[in-house]
Chains A and B, each alone.
Chain A
């Protein structure tokens, strides 16, 4: 990569796979389960988190030398809350129905462990450019998983993708040998999101043995 040095591009690429916030660090599961029933909501959520984490990391990084360490959590909360409110207001203005659907979960980005985690672990100790890359990278890692889960849940649960019909109509009930497509209602329930995330973790770890912890 010409644009970024090797060390910098690692900041973006690492969280996408081998240090993914959801599948490896198992953070941010709550929102991943709650809003992934539809692909569109997953994408919007991913974009929101990318914005909040990228900007937040930069702001915290710029202020890192003047924040008293005793009250740093409060300062971080104020920063992330301000950014989340911006996202929330933008969604309300331009995508009202989607904002209704995501309801409380946009607000709950504040409590997303990934964001506070990156502030604490990275932005407080690194410069703004590197913090920005780290924030974007982690948010992308989060977003990728959200979108994968949202893809399968919407496809198998409602037979649609982004609201467009992809799979056929429910089959007629003709007994034992009826064959055809039927929406899997279980996919729309949160437990199935957990299972899908679990399967992703399973696949990822069996492809990369280095990720398996000793126990």
Chain B
């Protein structure tokens, strides 16, 4: 008896009981179910919710793999065991087994905890409420490990996941009903609850914290700087990464957010499969560029002194905002979340533009929150229904006018 048959008999056995949704979820996740409808007229679509989710996960896989290599690379680079990449994207220094080993050892537990805890919460809610297990967590569970620092303790992640799934999603009625993006709710919880673990100059490179402890204990070793580029800029410090490093992603940062190139590919894949909205992505990029350009103009006009605490980020070339920090990742994978984004096409332009615009605004004006994109997306999530409402009303008004002209 194969696994499929076993799951089927288990499902039959528990039919009508509280545990039924749990078995059903496993069954339909792994196989297409035995019972399909006969007769009647149906619309057949290939991309059901599970397929949609899986497409996004496929788009995320390159970022995950790159993140693993990058975690090891940053660690080895900081300890001085290897040289910086010299050979473009396919440098041997980067794509080495020892980098992958460290990265996998650090990143895979994050993935496992994120999925394990999150799905457990989903199962519990499905059993209590007596509905089928919802697929909503599949993408969230993959996003979460990619947007946290490498050295976040697993229990904190677990607490945050429980909070995010329960308060961010289940209280509103589960998948498809949430107002805020659950992955970002989880990150926001971590950010405000445990700020010393989510920001600063230690958490972004594996080993920086241990090294600081060793030094405090009197060991004669060099400190590891785990500062992100945004963090350095916020303190008006120089950073030593060139533009290609930033674009390829050989920089410190949250696990999966660093490689703008792979995010771009993932974004194209989402647009091509019509899962992600190109309107949101494009308008968010434009929004960020406009805000960055405004700041650059302020610097060019000489309205801001070089000693000002905003100078570092304001004087950053406006297009560089796109390739550092999590802006690109947020725009491609989280602003486009179909549940929390605006639904109307015109609304999507406004929504996306404001996300980009506000992200850079927060980055520059609040150095304590270098990752403006998280707060910008959460803020716009809240406003998305309002935007839709006015777009709809505007449309209705326009068409009413047309109607009146005709009838007059």
Interface residues, chain A, with chain B CB atoms under 8 Å away: 171-179, 182, 184-187, 189, 195, 198, 202
Contacts and interface: CB of A to CB of B under 8 A. Distances in A.
A178 B206 CA distance: 13
A177 B153 contact: yes
A178 B153 contact: yes
Contacts of B207: 175
B97 to A, nearest CB: 20
B201 to A, nearest CB: 12
B156 A174 contact: no
Nearest to B189: A186
B176 interface: no
A195 B167 contact: yes
Given A173-B213, A202-B171, A189 B192 contact: yes
A175 B152 CA distance: 6
Contact of B194 (A177, A182, A195, A202): A182
B381 to A, nearest CB: 15
B195 A176 contact: no
Given A175-B153, A175-B207, A186-B189, 5 more contacts: A173-B212, A175-B106, A184-B193, A195-B167, A202-B171
Interface residues of B, number: 26
B156 A175 contact: no
A61 to B, nearest CB: 40
A173 B197 contact: yes
A202 B109 CA distance: 33
B38 to A, nearest CB: 38
Interface centre among A171, A176, A182 (most CB of B within 10 A): A176
A185 B153 contact: no
Given A173-B151, A176-B151, A187-B193, A182 B156 contact: yes
A108 B216 CA distance: 48
B210 interface: yes
Contacts of B303: none
A179 B153 contact: yes
B90 interface: no
B155 A179 contact: yes
Contacts of B304: none
B152 A176 contact: yes
16 contacts: A173-B197, A173-B202, A174-B210, A175-B106, A175-B206, A175-B209, A176-B106, A176-B152, A176-B153, A177-B153, A178-B153, A179-B153, A182-B194, A182-B197, A185-B193, A195-B167
Contacts of B195: 185
A176 B109 contact: yes
Contacts of B106: 175-176
A189 B188 CA distance: 13
Nearest to B107: A176
Interface string B207-231: 1011011000000000000000000
Contacts of B209: 173-175
Contacts of A187: 193
B154 interface: yes
Contact of B193 (A175, A177, A186): A186
Contacts of A198: 167, 171
